[in-house]
Amino acid sequence: MTTPPGDDDTLTAPLPGVRPGAPGSATGTALGGLLAPAAAVTTAARPQGGTPGAADAGDGPAVGLGASPVRADALAKAMGTFPYAADLWAEGLLWGAIARAPHAHARILSVDCSQALAIPGVHAVVTAADLRLGPNGVPDGAPSGPIVQDRPVFAVDMVRHFGEPIAAVAADHPDTARLAAAAIVVAYEPLEPLTDPEQAFTAPPIHPDGNLFRHQPVRFGDPEAVGEVVVEGLYQIGRQDPAPIGAEAGLAVPRPDGGVELHVASTDPHGDRDRAAHCLGLTPDQVRLVVSGVPGATADREDLGFQVALGLLAIRTGHPVKMALTREESFLTHAHRHPALLRYRHHADVEGRLVKVEAQLLLDGGAYAEVSSEALAAAAALAVGPYVVPHVFIDAWAVRTNNPPAGRMRGEGALQACFAYESQLDRLAAALDLDPLEIRRRNALSTGDLLPTGQAVTCPAPVRQLLDALTAEPLPPLPVDQPDAEWLLPGGPGGAGDPAAVRRGIGYAVGMVHMLGAEGTDEVSTASVRVSGAQASVICTAVDTGTGFSTLARQIVQDVLGVTDVYIAPVDTDQPPAGPSARGRQTWVSGGAVERAALMVRHQLLQPLAVQFGMSPELLSIGDGKITSYDGVLGMPVLQALEGKDLWATAQCRPHPTEPLDPETGQGDAFVSLAFCAMRAVVDVDVELGTVRVVELTVAQDVGRALNPEQIEARIEAGATQGLGLALMEELVSEGGRIANPSFTRYRLPTSLDAPVIRIAALLEERDVVAPFGAKAVGAAPAAVAPAAVAAAVRAATGQPVSRLPIPAEDLMV
């Protein structure tokens, strides 16, 4: 397979007067042959993964598994030249905009689009009436969803959250489109919004499906068991936003067959394609989804309504339509972390060994179901953490409110539970006058132990080793130990605080997350590997959301076949599905599929040589670019053996099946595998001002096998920093259902001054024998554990209970 014409790693500025991505620009030329000619489209965004392999592997010998080659997109992203979805362009382009509801809960009385259609330059206005009809033959907004089909593309008769789409407009200029969207006249009857999840049980239903998404009990052991020491706590977690730097954008191009081609930054291309086709009343083969450059995704990138609105406008107008959301719209549309309220009661004996855990968990799922059922299952099943507890009684609920919809985000469910159960362990340690590390060691989970769901932990569970690794790491120096060094006070350089009011605290937390889908989800991925001459190519629709999967796929092929030049094909739905890029699943299922396909090609390569030399292919090995036999008789360069050959294979990877949790007892083997992380946080707290500076985070993580050590460390640093943000500052504030801070000026994110030193104490490599390569997911676990670790350190510094995230300043003052 040859590299597509013009596809090189050098991105240069377009000629004077040439729009980036237009004919004549460097990126436009490079991409001219990669997109289907639906409307003679040229783009300024290289489709996902569409970069050649020689440079991708990095300049030097760092290839194969265990190495840390330079990422293919590293230089372009560092220089700001990486093409994203917002860079898309096509001839005859129109611009889209969406009219959104200004209420969190309201009845729609009428929608008048006449004034919008009268504006010069407006080509179309679409509403729910333009989507496929409902089962009874009337418009219902074409509801869809990843699990439950309850979220309409456009609201029909009721508005259930602030910013819900009502209609969409296509015009010849973005300002005209926004003006027309604002000109749509909607008559509303405002209703009282349901914003308190605790009231969802008794409030009138705000949706025909009711206010309860799911109730999941967990019953394990003896309900009459009682410990000699009992501690209780109530914990609250706010609404965190994934806050992607690149806002949602995309391009839709009409097709001659009446279908549409969507160029968007999807993290689940086939799932989004199928749901979009359903909403548009098309067959899946009439919708092609091409993944453009993804500007990072630690959660679901966008709600489906954005993609469907784009496609509907393109079909209606017969023109390509582009839409780029404003930052405010971005905050309103994509998924957020589930806010949670958690009540816990821990029982222990006098030696600190856990006897029983009772808990009530309440997740606010917002207006629509999305993945609330999945998040709740994780929260309930992992509610006691990486500890052995003989008696567990949990009730967990996810409810519907008129708050913004919550969805998939790093460590969903596991993070909320981790903050609560680790806070409880600190309370228990204080009640028993035990060291916080020691009480965790005494109760640590090990391989072979049972979860409260009755599932045996079959994967490596090195919880004690993780804690020991933290203990072995030295603590950062105190200011008195370095009197000449500049001390960065809480609140930033030159802060107004008094150094005498600063207290240092040290806190610990351990947590776990599940990997891949759960409760019977069919996790499967397909990949093809082809070798033609000196170059290998990989076709796999696993979306690289910033995780580095494209780099990992190259490393796998390099390791198995000894070929350094590996090309990763662009991602689109013309190829077999690989599933969503979430829960660390792509390393497992898509990496496994790539490995299996590469091994099949390897067999095709070695079989003729084995026959020629009268031995089994298993007696031949590939390493350092050479094929060698066990006895040293054969020693041939791989490239020589590949001359004139064109080899290819397709393979699938499917992990062992799981099963749903029992709806009455919560018992069941719901998870494929688990990953563990331990963290130590060191903080300085100004107890007069209520400000916090995280001095250091020390991380020990269970990684199975370090396939790319530098990339693993980067993922751990990113996850820990995201968790720190939730602990101290990140909260999307809902006031009566209306988002009060939908901007980066008011939604606070950690900056370089907030990010502490992150020390990797250990990457424990105890391989999971059922996982491809033995590797585990690494991004979600530190994100889930960091908030609990920071809260523990703040608790140690102030002596305050610290039961809310993000931690309010008033909770820190003593």
- Amino acid sitting at position 410: R
DSSP 8-state secondary structure symbol assigned to residue 677: E
pLDDT digits (tens, 9 = 90+) for 96-111: 999 999 999 999 999 9
Note whether 703 and 775 are within 8 A (CB).
yes
Classified as helix, coil or strand, 291 is strand
Provide the pLDDT for residue 627: 87
Residue 726 burial (10 A CB sphere; 0-12, 13-18, 19+): buried
Positions of the chain with pLDDT under 70: 1-62, 299-303, 482-486, 491-497
How far is 467 from 435, CA to CA, in rounded Å? 12
How far is Cα of residue 175 from the mean position of the Cα atoms in its chain?
A: 32
Phi and psi based region of residue 431 (left: phi greater than 0; alpha: psi -120 to 50; beta: remaining) = alpha
Can you read off the two tokens belonging to residue 136? Answer: 């009874």
Classified as helix, coil or strand, 689 is coil
Residue 693's DSSP bridge partners are: 684
* pTM for the full predicted model: 0.89
Query: Residue 31's CB: how many other CB atoms inside 10 A?
Result: 24
* Rg of the chain, C-alpha, whole Å: 27
Q: Which residue do the tokens 């204080």 mark?
A: 430
How far is 666 from 726, CA to CA, in rounded Å? 29
How far is 516 from 514, CA to CA, in rounded Å? 7
pLDDT digits (tens, 9 = 90+) for 42-80: 323 333 334 333 333 334 446 788 888 888 788 888 888
Cβ-count burial 747-786 (b if 16+ within 10 Å, e if not):
bbebeeebebebbbbbbbbbebeebbbbbbbbbbbbbbbb
CA separation, residue 82 to residues 281, 302, 552, 570 (Å): 35, 20, 19, 15
Can you read off the two tokens belonging to residue 536? Answer: 């290998």
Determine which helix (DSSP H) or strand (DSSP E) holds 31, and give its type and residue range. Answer: helix 26-31
Provide the pLDDT for residue 695: 95
Classified as helix, coil or strand, 158 is strand
Provide the pLDDT for residue 136: 86
Closest among 102, 261, 273 to 190, alpha carbons compared: 102
Provide the pLDDT for residue 262: 95
Closest among 589, 568, 588 to 578, alpha carbons compared: 589
